[in-house]
Structure 1
Amino acid sequence: MNILNRIVSDVHLMFRRPVREQYGALCYRWKKKRSAVEVLLITSRDTGRWVIPKGWPMEGKSAAGAAAREAWEEAGVKGSVREEPIGSYRYMKGMPHGLKVDCRVRVFALSVDDICKNFPEKGERRAEWVSCAEAADRVQEPGLKTLMLAFERTMLAKDAPAAKNGTTGA
């Protein structure tokens, strides 16, 4: 029986596909008049579930640069992206013809300072600014839920950015 288990294991490994990598942007802003951070969620085009902007690597762009580009293409936001990821999560990406592939999404924090009126996927998705707790409730991926709540704790541990008039908040 041992040899049969080994053969099954070897066959499984032969057909196992490597994990694909994507880059995502956790777009955030400081809520006006109080020290609270909000994140931007968008709906996926195919299922309508709540997600963050993400996509495949792009030739000539760093991982953080690709995440920032996806944020603009999918949600119409621009800002400062951190070059180091804040974490990662995994999910099963639905591909054409029903195939699903294992994807790891490296997530980069993007501080939003511009919301564009026109962008490539305008009208194809809904977007909403919500608290990290609300965002964690809406997304399906357990790793993304955990990442959002950890991001909120990290951000709130720091002081909210000082506004130009000397008060906190943006």
Structure 2
Amino acid sequence: MSDLVARTGRHQQRYEEGYRLIAGCIPFRFRDMEQNGDDTSEKIVEVLMINSTSGPGLLFPKGGWENDETVKEAAVREAIEEAGVRGDIVHFLGYYPFKSKTLQDEFSPEGLCRAAMFALFVKEELDCWPEQSRRKRSWLTIPEAIECCRHPWMRKVLEEGFSKWHEDGMVSTINNNDD
């Protein structure tokens, strides 16, 4: 995959019951935080958000799930195209319906979308990626990300899906995926 090019167009898009099917992820990493000058450190979770190309606020990488890929492959592809990161999908966060003003078409005239969202553990930040001229990356703590999130449905993914999974012991999930 040396030539990274963003996929465009809708001829490969998946639809189901009037919904355009979307795949996306919350890219994340751990940052060590020193504790009161002693030798212990706590791991802080940071999530990666990108700017919206259609207005203020930040969002997570997401886009159409296409016919020639699995939903996980689509989420990984979107992370590379929009945010310029590679990593491992470590957890399915859920399905989140939303309505899009910009994604109305003949198959979904009301712009109904259903996003399958995943947690993606970032292992590499690319220097060059397909949408780098249109996107800026921002690493944020979860509270900062909740504050900056452009779309209510993405805030819900972060608060209900990602944060709940994080509190329930995500580290063990990631460690078990390193096989």
- What TM-score, normalized by structure 1, do the two folds share? 0.74
Query: Which amino acid in structure 2 is aligned with residue 155 of structure 1?
Result: H
What residue is the counterpart of 1:111 in the other structure?
A: 121
After superposition, the Cα gap between the structure-2 partners of 1:140 and 1:63, relative to the gap in structure 1 and judged at 3 Å, is: same
After superposition, the Cα gap between the structure-2 partners of 1:113 and 1:95, relative to the gap in structure 1 and judged at 3 Å, is: same
- 1:105-153 per-residue CA deviation (whole Å, 9 max, x = no partner) reads 1101100010000110012112101011211121133332122123224
- Find the partner of 2:60 among 52, 55, 62: 52
**Which structure has greater strand proportion?**
2
Contact 1:88 1:105 in 2 (8 A): yes
* Counterpart mapping for 1:63-142 below 5 A: 63-82=71-90, 85-95=92-102, 101-142=111-152
**Are 1:154 and 2:165 matched, yes or no?**
yes
Q: For residues 153 and 121 of structure 2, what CA distance do their matches in structure 1 show?
A: 21
Unaligned runs of 5+ in 2: 1-16, 34-41, 173-179
What residue is the counterpart of 1:9 in the other structure?
A: none
After superposition, the Cα gap between the structure-2 partners of 1:22 and 1:72, relative to the gap in structure 1 and judged at 3 Å, is: same
Distance apart, 1:50 and its partner CA: 1.1
SS at match of 1:117: coil
Q: For residues 149 and 125 of structure 2, what CA distance do their matches in structure 1 show?
A: 22
Contact 2:104 2:110 in 1 (8 A): no
Q: For residues 31 and 84 of structure 2, what CA distance do their matches in structure 1 show?
A: 19
Contact 1:90 1:141 in 2 (8 A): no
Distance apart, 1:160 and its partner CA: 4.5
Larger Cα Rg: Structure 1 or Structure 2?
A: 1
Percentage identity across paired residues of the two chains: 27
What residue is the counterpart of 2:26 in the other structure?
A: 26
State the superposition RMSD in angstroms: 2.5
Q: Any runs of at least 4 consecutive aligned residues in structure 1 with deviations exceeding 3 A, and if so which?
A: 96-100
Distance apart, 1:94 and its partner CA: 2.8
Query: Which amino acid in structure 1 is aligned with residue 130 of structure 2?
Result: P
Contact 2:60 2:154 in 1 (8 A): no
Question: How many pairs were matched up?
Answer: 144
Distance apart, 1:65 and its partner CA: 0.9
Contact 2:146 2:158 in 1 (8 A): yes
Unaligned runs of 5+ in 1: 1-16, 162-170
**Are 1:144 and 2:151 matched, yes or no?**
no
